[in-house]
Amino acid sequence: MIRFSLLVLAVAVTVAAQTKKPVEAQSSSSIQMGTDADSSETVQIHNVSYYVTGTNVPGRPPDERLLLKKTVQSKQVLGDIGMESTFTLEAWRLGDDPREKPLYTLTASGEEGQVKDNALVVVPRGLEEVEWWSVYQLGNGAHSFDTYVPLVSFSISRETLTMRYAGLEVPPDDIQDPRLKQPNVIAVVTYASEGKVLQEALLTSDDREQATLLRSFADVTRSMSTEEAAPARTLRLSFRQNYPSPSNPLAITIPIAHDRLDLANAKLPAKMHLSAWKR
């Protein structure tokens, strides 16, 4: 077995508005290469990094910054699909001693999380064949929503930066909510601000075979985007069947009006419906 240090990261920051003395922290990263009992070769990596946020983190005092410690512990069997990985995020007020208890600790199976817009933490969760992401609030570590398309972000105002986020949750087979196990269910569209989920909409189909197909992770590719269209911005959701099937693209457009998804004026293919929904 081989073990060696990859990284020693030190943080020493003095911010007059928040701290009266320097703050120091050290953490080691490492890699282990070895062989399991079944002779398979494995690589285990322990990575640690530090990150300092900007001010105006939603839910925190306006002039406060956070010190984040991001830890990723992963194990991969060489030649196998997927891997095991755990992401941990610890947060302190910048200037507090990071040896003390953090404001919060966020732990999820997944790869390294990224800070988005100084407001959210987005963690890639797809460690096997299916890509998906979990979205958390940076200010307190609370889970906001999951999405099976890359997170969509945009401002609803031209005059001021007023960020909104959208995602699509496709119910996996082991979903706990019995309402999402119904055979006509396709997915849940999520519309959120930096601090909370503002609105959810349930996408269904009267054609159960169509619903089953559009829920499939192996047979369909999904995408989401926004378009500037008069008189309002529009959220566009697309489904395409994967090769070797014909693509047979389906598109759904949802206007965004008065900071809401305008479900009444959404345009959907025949037999498909969008309705207000709440967890």
d(CA 162, CA 25): 35
Could you identify the residue written with the tokens 């909104």?
164
Residue 258 has pLDDT above 70, yes or no: yes
CA atoms within 13 A on the CB side of 126: 12
Does 157 or 106 have the greater pLDDT score?
106
Query: Residue 122 has what pLDDT?
Result: 97
Q: How many Cβ atoms sit within 10 Å of the Cβ of residue 103?
A: 15
Query: Residue 21 has what pLDDT?
Result: 61
Residue 204's SS3 state is: strand
| Averaged pLDDT, 9-35 | 62
Indicate the range of 2-6, 96-100, 139-143, 236-240 predicted with least confidence. 2-6
| Averaged pLDDT, 83-93 | 93
Q: Specify whether the CB–CB gap between 235 and 152 falls below 8 A.
A: yes
Indicate the range of 28-42, 55-69, 149-163 predicted with least confidence. 28-42
d(CA 198, CA 205): 24
Residue 235 has pLDDT above 80, yes or no: yes
* Contacts of residue 38, Cβ cutoff 8 Å, sequence gap at least 6: none
| Averaged pLDDT, 210-215 | 96
pTM: 0.86
Helix H or strand E encompassing 209: helix 208-215
Query: Residue 15 has what pLDDT?
Result: 42
Query: Residue 53 has what pLDDT?
Result: 98
Query: Residue 17 has what pLDDT?
Result: 43
In which band, very low, low, confident or very high, does the pLDDT at 3 lie, cut at 50, 70 and 90?
very low
| Averaged pLDDT, 36-49 | 85
Query: Residue 6 has what pLDDT?
Result: 36
Angle at 147 between CA 145 and CA 149, to 5 degrees: 155
Round the average pLDDT of the chain to a whole number and report it.
88
